[in-house]
Structure 1
């Protein structure tokens, strides 16, 4: 009672024997979640005032909801609070309003970005090889609300220009996320790489190559960044080369195809271990815009199409670089999976906040002039094509000639008017600044950004949940004949029912899972239960060691009804 009114607390988890608890399969993810440092690092950066629910209970609840595919906090309204509370050793989980208030307290009194950075640093140091080659890509989080008019940007998956916020994700080769950088005003991948992503990687990533080795070999690099053609910039390549960071991306304006004789078939090992044959060729190319020499590697398909990639990694085999570049789809699959199963784009709060006054945005006047010039140029191209194609195919008669001359004269007049209009607009566009600071925008065109701290907090938990799920898939794939079925089995497992049997004298909490539909799934679950039990994970805020089993028994004594 005192904890519920904020005079004491938080309440410690107290498990009792219960049977057939829905979604209790998510407890299998607890060892993996604990190993990510989610709770330990969170306790170093957050603190809640006294109350019924503690910090670990809130973080675990959000992680369990993500793994059980409860994609939005609002969906918790339609879930049984008592059943979810049994998974945390509590009477019930908080209502949506209480949970939102807890989130607001956490993000207002602390900095979720520092928490995320600390976790990222730990993840990179735990797996330094994964931090040596990173994928970088942008994801547009579409906003359909009416609280503010965010700038429009192109959404490739919908092929439309929609309002939203661009999130730049940094992932490992197997698509496990490290961190995300959100930009309500998108300056482009090149600028984000230079200003935000690379400084953070240099600060947080482990030193795979020491300074002595870098000084002894001028071609050696610290790490490699792989991104799509949006980041193609010879100036960027030269800048990253000076910082001893290699870049791999697609080349723009590659020029004519190379002769077929230059290509040779090579065996390439993909990120998932699969070996394929690729027809590859390589040349050294000088890019005068950045005053830098790069490697251009082309892949030739059976149809004869050539895909060129650029690399400033001068040491690795071209087959290794080709595998890294063409394996970039693992990050696209990550976005799709997170959208479909984790509600990546779901809003956490409807709150908005002011942008910093110094934020650079596109000048609306410059945008209007540029759009007018582009529109008139498109019309001019069409009119010139019609003018050139208009010929007199009829017999040369007075009426036919006059009609032809009239059409030609009308098109010529339109061409001259469009040309004059473009010549008049170009000096205006040149004299108009391309960018303005937010404070200099007209009042009616100013906008705000979505509240970023709460979203960053929940996204960090979703990253940890995805990493926990990925770790479990590796364990399952050891005994499964089809590796692609591992995540499907885990999704079924997370929503499966289980019996919880605590033994306070022995200091154990047994999670007894119910059988699934077939024997092969049960064999895989037995295997992962043995592996997870061997970790001897202690449930947070208790002294109960987790034991995982498969198989139903009679209802335990003192069953709660």
Structure 2
């Protein structure tokens, strides 16, 4: 048995001083008239003098920031409130220790209460109006009205009625020794009173919009045409940045066009303006379908709409269905194109036209077409899109099922003429899908030029015919090409023997491949023609961008209708007849080979000595060949008699197509959202160095920024919170100045919008 080990029992030293106030499990505070010390794990970590309010605040903040104690534990130990501790932490995060230095309480910015506004408020008060009625008429809150009328401590009228009181404290001047209880954090009761008075003139943070029960009740009875705009004033309102789009939206004419085409919707709380703006704002938030409303707080979206809440999904769908029931989607598209043409006349010299297919994965019996991006045939609907020279969408037209781009171009000529005018000449740019000499002739006869790639075989030019050409685009980028030219005559193929004469430009790549380009323009240099044709890829880029950001391929409506039963479609029997001809021709070839083999065999037999140079060819081979030729002739005759196209009812009875009216309406809204965003992106170029590549990324952030919204007289002030980086905030401030200069009014009001960004200089 080993030696006995004796244990020495010694009292554990105290973790904190006896008079320390515990702050969680690790820290404690000892404070007296000399100052205070904060102990952490038994060691003195923070110390401050009695008059060192900055040191005391720093200690409290550091305990929370370093997660040594919770907010509640620090509040209890330092004897402060949650709001005070929150302000200390926010000030320390923004400005460091300097932010903890006590400053003068009260508003720091210019007062909204101008002399003119005070005079107006007092006149309205003389008429007997209530404070709430005066506030509504002038556009301020009731606390501001009280100040203007001298009914709040600190105002001139209040001092006149209380000559023995100070303007700041409201205490009697006859008692200069009046003391105020002081909390351990250095904030007095008077500070709290001053803060309450200051807050009376400060916008409320995230106010709940006033419920508009009376108007909703009137709407249920059919007595309300549309809820008027009532903007909720407040600070840090979410998605206030959406209001940045309104000046650029005016250039698209979206609201004006919808009002002129549809007039108004049936009586109800949500009218045409609020529904269109809701869909527009959802598109800018990159959730453009109706169900996107479920992913945005309805009160947040309602504040920027001037309502108490945004419409729900079922309301949006019901309103869109009402709009679509007018069957005027094509009129909306044409009217928007006219407004766009008037706003951007310089962009109409070149028009990009391309087809787009929207894949359908439902159960309806829709027609099939080739989807180029998927490299397969699938159920889909076709559309024809027209874009201007900058590739901004101008017009969309539902395509005829099964029609080629060449057919759609011919069908589109009247629409193009209506947009650009009857006398103006423009160049239509399209890809090889529009290759057709007859299409080229139709476009040139209508006063339109063509620019496209050549399709099919061509005669390459000799290498010595090529020369270097260059072109500098409007952005200052120089493009060099190795080009050669010739003139070609293309047969029209209409049976008349007519031809069309076009200019053919051969572009030679680094590998020696020649790419022929056709155009009817003789005034463009070869390099200009190549650069312009390459610009069509920007339209393809729009399709990709819109698919991911603006729900280009979304259904938006599940309504379908019967397809035209008399529409001519390719006859599948014609294909089978052609296959029968191919099989019959193969049989003829096989029979001929069999006859040749029989002749060779007879020749071999005739060469034998015993046959004396004679032999008989097997007659079965000749009979087989004759029969094969008869079948071949019959197959060709059957193919000739089979029509190439037959009515749809004979091929696909009961065929359906999707209703395009709702899609034309949603296309119009999202096209306007994209074009308005493009306008803002171009305006950013003077304020944001990487705007060429990052302008839209900055705008996507800007639309989600919170901000303050308040009304002063006839001005609606939108003061946005800073962006994620100082240079982004500076760029948005420059953009805001430009937008303010447009003096755009908020839709449905006479309020001119003033845009600013917090912590950025106002250059107005």
TM-score range, shorter chain: 0.7 to 0.9
Is the CA contact (8 Å cut-off) linking 1:270 and 1:327 kept in structure 2?
A: no
* Displacement after TM superposition at 1:366 (Å): 3.0
Task: Classify the secondary structure of the residue corresponding to 2:455.
Answer: coil
Q: Against the structure 1 CA distance between its residues 234 and 500, is the aligned structure 2 distance closer, same or farther, given a 3 Å change threshold?
A: same
Following superposition of structure 1 onto structure 2, how do residues 227-238 of structure 1 map, counting pairs within 5 Å? Answer: 227-238=430-441
Larger Rg: 2
Structure 1 residue 2 corresponds to structure 2 residue 2: no
Q: Against the structure 1 CA distance between its residues 94 and 4, is the aligned structure 2 distance closer, same or farther, given a 3 Å change threshold?
A: farther
Larger RCO (alpha carbons 8 Å, 6+ apart): 1
Task: Classify the secondary structure of the residue corresponding to 2:308.
Answer: coil
Following superposition of structure 1 onto structure 2, how do residues 158-173 of structure 1 map, counting pairs within 5 Å? Answer: 158-173=374-389
* Displacement after TM superposition at 1:514 (Å): 1.8
Structure 1 residue 202 corresponds to structure 2 residue 417: yes
Query: What residue in structure 2 maps to residue 35 of structure 1?
Result: 251
Task: Classify the secondary structure of the residue corresponding to 2:488.
Answer: strand
Alpha-carbon distance in structure 2 between the residues aligned to 1:447 and 1:174: 39
Structure 1 residue 506 corresponds to structure 2 residue 713: yes
> Please, which of 294, 299, 314 is the counterpart of residue 82 of structure 1?
299
Query: What residue in structure 1 maps to residue 660 of structure 2?
Result: 452
Alpha-carbon distance in structure 1 between the residues aligned to 2:408 and 2:233: 52
Structure 1 residue 430 corresponds to structure 2 residue 645: no
Is the CA contact (8 Å cut-off) linking 2:366 and 2:655 kept in structure 1?
A: yes
Following superposition of structure 1 onto structure 2, how do residues 174-323 of structure 1 map, counting pairs within 5 Å? Answer: 174-183=390-399, 185-195=401-411, 197-206=412-421, 209=424, 222-270=425-473, 273-289=476-492, 290-323=498-531
Structure 1: segments with no counterpart, 5+ residues:
210-221, 388-413, 554-561
Is the CA contact (8 Å cut-off) linking 2:225 and 2:269 kept in structure 1?
A: yes
Q: In terms of mean alpha carbon deviation, does 43-52 or 68-77 score higher? A: 68-77
Query: What residue in structure 2 maps to residue 218 of structure 1?
Result: none
Q: Against the structure 1 CA distance between its residues 534 and 484, is the aligned structure 2 distance closer, same or farther, given a 3 Å change threshold?
A: same
Is the CA contact (8 Å cut-off) linking 1:71 and 1:346 kept in structure 2?
A: no
> Please, which of 24, 48, 52 is the counterpart of residue 265 of structure 2?
48
Count how many residue pairs are aligned between Structure 1 and Structure 2: 508
Is the CA contact (8 Å cut-off) linking 1:142 and 1:162 kept in structure 2?
A: yes
TM superposition score normalised by structure 2 = 0.62
Is the CA contact (8 Å cut-off) linking 1:500 and 1:509 kept in structure 2?
A: no
> Please, which of 651, 673, 687 is the counterpart of residue 479 of structure 1?
687
Structure 2: segments with no counterpart, 5+ residues:
1-216, 493-497, 595-623
Query: What residue in structure 1 maps to residue 672 of structure 2?
Result: 464
Deviation string, structure 1 residues 248-273 (Cα, Å, up to 9, x no partner): 11112342431222111111234755
* Displacement after TM superposition at 1:426 (Å): 4.2
* Displacement after TM superposition at 1:373 (Å): 5.5
For the aligned residues, what is the CA RMSD?
2.9
Alpha-carbon distance in structure 1 between the residues aligned to 2:717 and 2:231: 11
Query: What residue in structure 2 maps to residue 406 of structure 1?
Result: none
Alpha-carbon distance in structure 1 between the residues aligned to 2:456 and 2:443: 21
Q: Against the structure 1 CA distance between its residues 521 and 199, is the aligned structure 2 distance closer, same or farther, given a 3 Å change threshold?
A: same
Query: What residue in structure 1 maps to residue 567 of structure 2?
Result: 359
* Displacement after TM superposition at 1:108 (Å): 1.1
Following superposition of structure 1 onto structure 2, how do residues 335-346 of structure 1 map, counting pairs within 5 Å? Answer: 335-346=543-554
Q: Against the structure 1 CA distance between its residues 418 and 250, is the aligned structure 2 distance closer, same or farther, given a 3 Å change threshold?
A: farther
Alpha-carbon distance in structure 1 between the residues aligned to 2:466 and 2:490: 23
Structure 1 residue 111 corresponds to structure 2 residue 338: no
Alpha-carbon distance in structure 2 between the residues aligned to 1:60 and 1:25: 14
* Displacement after TM superposition at 1:88 (Å): 0.2
Is the CA contact (8 Å cut-off) linking 1:72 and 1:347 kept in structure 2?
A: no
Q: Against the structure 1 CA distance between its residues 425 and 194, is the aligned structure 2 distance closer, same or farther, given a 3 Å change threshold?
A: same
Structure 1 residue 132 corresponds to structure 2 residue 349: yes
Task: Classify the secondary structure of the residue corresponding to 2:390.
Answer: coil
